[in-house]
Amino acid sequence: MIKSPDPKQLNLFARSAWSVIYNNVLSGISAFRAGVGNTAQLILKPITGFLRHGFWSLGDDFQGLKRTIYYNGAVFETNRRALNDAFQMMKKAHKDPEMMLKAYRKDFVFKGDKAWDIMEDMRTLWEAEGNTGKILQYDIARGLKQLGAHPAMRYGMTAMVFPDVFTSTHLAHYLSRVRAYDDVFSEFGFADWKKIHLAEKKHYTKFFDNNGLIKDNVLRSVAGEVQLNLDDGLANWLNKGTTAYPATKFMLMFPRTASNYIKNSLSWTPISVIPGINKYSKTLYARTDDQIAKALAEHGIDMATTPNAKIIFENLRAEYTGRLMFSGMLSMTLYNYAMAGNIRGNGHYNASRRTKERDQFGYQPKTINIGGKWVSYKGIPGVEQVLSIIGDMAYYSNDVDEHTLTSWNSKLTWTIASSFLNETPLQGLEPLIAATNGDMSGWNRLIANSLRSTIPASGGLGVLSNAITSSQKDLEGEIHEYIANRLPIASSYLPERIDIWTGEPLNDIDNPILRGLNAISPFQVSGTAEPWRIWLLESGWDGISMLKKDSTGSYSYTAKERELINQYIGEQQMYKKLKRLMNSSAYKEDLKQLKILRSSNADLFNDKIELKTKMLPLYKELDQIVRNAQLIAEQRLLTERPDVVSTIRAQQHANFKMKQGDVKGASQIQKNTLDKQKLLQYGGSR
C-alpha cells in the first residue's frame, strides 16, 4: 500500500540529497581557494598590527610594537605545527563521519538528529503494514545519506578542513602568546621570557578539546572571521528559508561564507569608520569599559568571563586600524601603477562594451600586471576591493570616450556592485529577478548548474574540462549547453568563440602545462597582450558586437556558422592593418586632443552638443576594416554553404510578402523552406 510522502521523510531526503550535492560542488578547487583566502589574511594580520603599533609606538614606549613582534614570532615552528594539525584533522574527518560533522564548515553540515533513529524504528512498522511507499522513501533517503558520508565522495569537503585547521592552530599560537605576554607583564611589570614561554604552553592547551576541536570563544571568533565561518544573522535567516524550501538552496548555497566575506571586505574600507555601523566600527571607537564590553560582545566574547579581555580588545582595535592604514597605503602606492594601465578593475559599466573589451582586446577584470603576466587578485579580502576600485578609477580617468564624471551614477553603481555586492548571498536571486523581466539566460544557467551539481564530482570534472580546453564557447543559452560546457570531452564539441583579429579561439592557452596549472590554481594567469590590442583598448574604439546576423540582417547565424565566419574573418589577420594606424601622426594627434578635451572638463556640463568619439576618422577606418573583412568572410561562407544562401533569399522573399500583406504567401515560403531542410537532413542521414 502506497501512501502520500511523510514530511519528516521528505526533510531527511532533502538533507541527504544536499549532502551529496555539496560533495559534488566542492570536489574541484574550493579547498585551494579557501587556502588562498585564509593564508592571505594570516599574512596580512601581522602587517596590520605592525602598521598600527608602529605609527603610535612613541606614545606607549614601543610596547605595542614589541608585543606584536612577539605575537607573530616563531613563524617556522608555528607553521610546522599548523601543517601537522591540519593533516591529522583532515585524516580524522576523512575516516570518521561523526568527526566530519564537527570539523566541517557550518555551511556544509546538515546535523544529524534523532529522526533517523525514529524512522529506522518506523521502518519495521511499515513492513508489517505493507507500506511500500514509505519504505521506499526512507530507503532512498538513507542511501543518499550513506553516499554523502562515504569518504571517497566527500574528498572536496574533507580537503576544506586542511586550510581551516591550519588557520585555527596558527591563531591559537598567536592568542596563547597574547595571553602569556599579558599575564607575565601584568604580574611582574617586564617581559620575563622564560615565564612567558611557560605561560604560552599552558594557554595553548586550553584552546582545543581532546578531539582537536576549538573550545575557546576568542579563538572561535578570531579564526571564524578568517575562515568566513562565523554565525551571522542574515545567513541564519536565509538558512531557515532554504531549509523550509529546499529548491531555493541552489540560489543561496553558501550564505554564511558569502555574508562573512562581504563584512570582512568592508572592514578594509572607510565604511568601517562610520560610527556604530558594524563590529569593526564599534571596536575602533570604543573607549570606556562599557563600550569595550559591547564591542567584544559583537565578536562573541564576554568581557567579564574572558581572561585578558582588555589586551585582546586592544589587539583587535590595532588590527582593524591597521587594515584601514594598509588599504590607504595600498591605494596611494598603486594608484600611479593603475594609471599606467597595470591594474584592472571591474571593467566598463556598460555590459556590451565590457564583453567586447574582454573578447577583442583581452581585458581580464580584477587582474594586476606582474612581470608582464596578468595575475588575478580576486578572492583576497581587502586587496580585491581596494585594487578593483582604484583600477576602475584609473580606467575611467583614461577613457577617451567620455569624461570621468559623465554617467558617474552608472559607474559608481557598477563599481560598488561588482566590488562588493556580487559576493553577497542575495546575488543568488539575480536569475530569478532577471526571469521576471523576460531574461531567461540567467535562469537557464541556474537550472543547468543545479542539474550539474547532481553529477558525481562535478566540481572536479569542471577543473578537468578547463585543463583540456580553456577557450570560450559560443553558447546559445540552452540548458544542455551550459552543462556540457563544464564537462570534459563534451565541452570540446561546443562551438568556440573565435578571435576575429587572429582567427584563434578566445582565451585559448597553447601551453598545455600553463592551461593545466590555471585549471587547478585559484590565481588565474594570462599572457601579455599584444601591443596592437593595448593600443585598441587605449584608443577608445569600442569594437564590434557579436555577429548574430548576416550583413543584410535577413539571416540569423547558428553558433556553428558564427564560429566559421569569425574564423574566416580572423584568417584575414586584420591586426596587420593596425600598424599603419598606430603610427599615423594624424591619428595620434586626434587621440591626444581628445584626451586633453576629456581631462579638461570642457565638455562636462554641455548637454546640448555631444562630441561623439565614433565620428573620428580613426574610428571610421577601424569600422571599415572590420566591415570589409566581414563581407569577404560572408562571401566565402555563402560560396561554401549554398543552403545558407537559399535560406537568406527565402527570408528576404518572406519579408517582401509580409510587407505586401500576403500572409499566406509568406507562410508558404516558410513551409517550403522547412520541407527543404528536412529533405536535406534526411538525405544527409542516409
Cβ burial 290-323 (10 Å sphere, 16+ → b, else e): eebbbbbeebebebeebebbebbbbbbbbbbbbb
Interval 320-348 mean pLDDT:
89
Cβ neighbourhood burial of 661 (10 Å; 0-12, 13-18, 19+): exposed
Residue 7 has pLDDT above 80, yes or no: no
Residue 582 has pLDDT above 80, yes or no: yes
| 647, 673 contact by CB (below 8 A) | yes
What single letter denotes the amino acid at residue 40? Answer: A
**Per-residue DSSP letter, 471:** S
Residue-wise DSSP of 496-554: BPB-TTTSSBTT--S-HHHHHHHHH-SS-EE-PPPHHHHHHHHHT--------B-TTS-
| 423, 262 contact by CB (below 8 A) | yes
Residue 32 has pLDDT above 80, yes or no: yes
Q: How many CB atoms lie within 10 A of CB 533?
A: 20
Residue 153 has pLDDT above 50, yes or no: yes
**Inter-CA distances, 284 with 47, 215, 322, Å:** 18, 27, 11
Lowest mean pLDDT among 18-22, 173-177, 206-210: 18-22
Q: Per-residue pLDDT tens for 639-682?
A: 887 777 787 788 888 888 888 888 888 888 888 777 676 665 55
Interval 236-242 mean pLDDT:
76
Query: Domain segments of the chain: what residues?
Result: 7-230, 267-329, 340-423, 457-529, 531-640
Q: How confident is the model at residue 282 (pLDDT cuts 50, 70, 90)?
A: very high
Q: How confident is the model at residue 61 (pLDDT cuts 50, 70, 90)?
A: low
Share of the chain above pLDDT 90, in %: 14
Residue in 112, 315, 103, 365 with CA at minimum distance from that of residue 212:
103
Q: How confident is the model at residue 173 (pLDDT cuts 50, 70, 90)?
A: very high
| 473, 495 contact by CB (below 8 A) | yes
| 400, 348 contact by CB (below 8 A) | no
| Amino acid 686: pLDDT | 46
Q: How confident is the model at residue 1 (pLDDT cuts 50, 70, 90)?
A: very low
| Amino acid 606: pLDDT | 59
What single letter denotes the amino acid at residue 71? Answer: Y
How far apart CA 569 and CA 256 sit, in angstroms, is 48
Task: Supply the mean pLDDT for the chain.
Answer: 80
Residue 121 has pLDDT above 90, yes or no: no
Q: How confident is the model at residue 221 (pLDDT cuts 50, 70, 90)?
A: very high
Q: How confident is the model at residue 432 (pLDDT cuts 50, 70, 90)?
A: low
Phi-psi region of 601 (alpha: psi -120 to 50; beta: other; left: phi over 0): left
Q: Per-residue pLDDT tens for 12-27?
A: 777 777 778 888 888 8
| Amino acid 377: pLDDT | 87
Residue 6 has pLDDT above 50, yes or no: no
Q: Name the most confidently modeled range: 217-226, 423-432, 486-495, 599-608.
A: 217-226
Q: Per-residue pLDDT tens for 614-647?
A: 788 888 999 899 889 988 988 888 888 777 778 7
3-class DSSP state of 26:
coil
Q: How confident is the model at residue 60 (pLDDT cuts 50, 70, 90)?
A: low
| 352, 346 contact by CB (below 8 A) | no
Residue-wise DSSP of 413-440: HHHHHHHTGGGSGGGGGHHHHHHHTT--
More confident position, 5 or 387: 387
Beta-bridge mates of residue 368: 343, 375
| 357, 338 contact by CB (below 8 A) | no
Half-sphere exposure of 633 (CA within 13 A, CB side): 27
Share of the chain above pLDDT 70, in %: 85
Residue in 247, 1, 16 with CA at minimum distance from that of residue 119:
16
Q: Per-residue pLDDT tens for 320-331?
A: 999 999 888 888
Angle at 477 between CA 476 and CA 480, to 5 degrees: 100
| 162, 86 contact by CB (below 8 A) | yes
Interval 531-551 mean pLDDT:
81
Residue 56 has pLDDT above 70, yes or no: no
Interval 338-343 mean pLDDT:
89
How far apart CA 100 and CA 89 sit, in angstroms, is 9
| Amino acid 111: pLDDT | 58
To which residue does cell 610546522 refer? 80
